[in-house]
Structure 1
Amino acid sequence: MSAPQAGPLCAFVAMLRVEQASLTERWMKAVFRDDVLNDSDKLTYEQLADHLPNVFDEIGVALENEDLDKVEPAIERNARLHGKMRWRQGYRVDELVRELELFRQVLTGAVMQFAEAHPEFTRRSEERARYYIDEALSFVTLTSIREVMTERDRKIDEYTGRLERANHELQLKQHLVSDLYESRMQITRSVVHDLRNFLNVFSMALQLAARTPSKTETALALANRQAADMKALVDELVEYAVVLRDADTVAIEVFSLRELFDELVASCRPPVEAKGLRFATSFDGQLAVVSSNRLKLKQIALNLLTNAAKYTKTGQIGLTMTGDGDDHWRLRVSDTGVGIGQHDRERVFEEFERIAGDDVPGVGLGLAIVKELCRVLDGEIHFDSREGLGTTFEIRFPMVLKLKD
């Protein structure tokens, strides 16, 4: 650790401390003008600049000592507080990253202005100043993001806990409900378990952001989408029994099939290839947008892909989206797994039915859920299978889902 010394960096730090108020004002104006930072409009001056003075001080100490280790504990403490506060204030992760990037830009601009006004502030001094500012704010950004993710995980656990308590109460009242209603509740518990698939992708996105800074934007986009999907699923599961009835309502949205396809590939390729399987994918470039329920379509595909991976030890898993005339499109998932015997074909879509032994995980609800979701989305499902050679499931969906009366 270097000892403090007088010099160009110390002179620059002195300027930062004198100009702290004006630099803070410059940053706040940039924040309020930025199109990405919609949630900043809801904050007061004090709320927006809550931990900025502390960050200024810590960066100043790091520049004076030319050593980040000295201030790392303080930076981490304030970054965690900052991330937790922004989560409570409703910030998205991309907004958190953006406001800290704007802060970095303000400080970098201050470095340039100082260098122009002070000839003794050499290019090397300017580079050192930029280095310590970048390193400090990168650490602040990463720590704040981790804190936001921790808060999200806590919220997800809270939702899951509520569902588990609700399901426990329903179990205690089994003698008051019919066999069908009891079956639906077991499906709810199974789908809660399937949320782990989303959490795994969420975790991989965070690891990608931490290990490969150049891919942070991609990782954060994937993490945000996974978090949004998890929250939407958990919210829907509270009333899942109602959703499964004939009178349920479906939220229809217009979305890109290509984006859904890419998301499925990104989510499923790692676990498929981790088993030593090839993941063969194909997308019809003529497909554009559809009007349906994106989340339920994703559930169908994930259930089929997860099921295929469970029952396949060698070979490949296939995912294909193709057009079918002007009004329909097809989703196809194939595998080279154990296949389905002739005597099992009739009960393949029944609840709690499985075609393999206990060495394959699951409770036999995946295809039952697929069948029910296909009914809701007006999908026609067919499958072809040969025992020992594999299975192909193909579903024909409308390009525009119409609400049923």
Structure 2
Amino acid sequence: MPTILRINSMETIDAVQLRSQLGDFLAERTGDIVRSWVNQVKKDPRLTTADRLSEHLLEDHIPLLLEDFIIVLRSGEEEIEMGARWNAVKHGAERWGQGYSYKELVWEIYRLRRVLFENVMEFACGRPNELAVFSLACSSADSFLNELECRSVEKYAEESEATVRLSNEARLRLIRTVSHELRNLLNSVGLASALLSSDDPESIELMRGNLDRNCGHMKQVLDDLLDLSLIFSRQNVAKPAWFDPGLLLKLLEAAHRPVAEANGLIFTSSIKGELGSIYTDELRVRQIAENLVSNAIKYTPTGEVHLRFEGVSTNDWAIVVEDTGLGISEGDRQHIFSEYYQVSPASPLRGSGLGLFIVSGLVDLLKGSISLESEPNRGSVFRVVLPRIHGSVEVLA
């Protein structure tokens, strides 16, 4: 775009100055632009996925993208900066994860284009050479939005292709895992059938134990598969609400203390620091804690398991699970949260290898982080840090 735009033989427009003025105009209206866009998206019947998102999740990177656009306008440069490209890419990835269809992504950006053009029209209205000013401002907005659309859609397509590829690989692994456990169960059932007419109490009792163990293994695999289906679902969106973490801790202790004591372990729980009420998805929090506690009990032959909720800061809190179990080597710690990874595949305490992968996925869903400290034969400490408030909330319900 030329620095000076000639209207006729007598009149010209300073394009750089005009773009800077447009940037100032939009900066004052950024909040209104975002709110207007959110309202239009919510009302658009073609954007049904948006109806399931909170306003905070719906806004996503839009405020940052508008800020990037304003920076470009004020700088006098025509080239879109790397920050804007990166935010556009993240927007496409986020929308894929939230379950948007390709068409919804395009229509959403179209709505942003409409809102921006309405503001550009207002910017140009009443200025000298109004039509030329409007044309120049629209050209700037159009270039930016085209870049946003291309980057977002490109990333969306990449995420879609990668998910399909991983999904195919996951299906094969799932088939192998379930087939293995099902075969063990069927073998036990077959042997039990052969012993039905046996008068040997010791053999019958041995087979009953094998049946119980294999049924337990199969149930765990099926439970993990159900949890995994939620992780892989693109419509897996957190449903935050206020809840009392102290009450949740009591429920978890009541559920897991008998299991731990049946295995000869001591189970304790506690709260450290100030927690108050938490605004997040309580069901997902419970799934995280239950997976970690179940793992700790399973891999702790003797000693104790401790579950603790901690107030980390004014913004964060933590779920901490400590045990005196087998521990995890440094090499294994690098892969422990990978899908289907098992520290000791030959162990009789085998599982599906999905538990910690599921925990990691749930932690990501709740915008948290997970860390591990462990030493072989001395135990492990899993620490999950989560925000006290997931997304945006105005009042305590």
Q: Same fold (TM over 0.5)?
A: no
TM-score (norm 1): 0.42
TM-score by structure 2 length?
A: 0.42
Rg larger in structure: 2
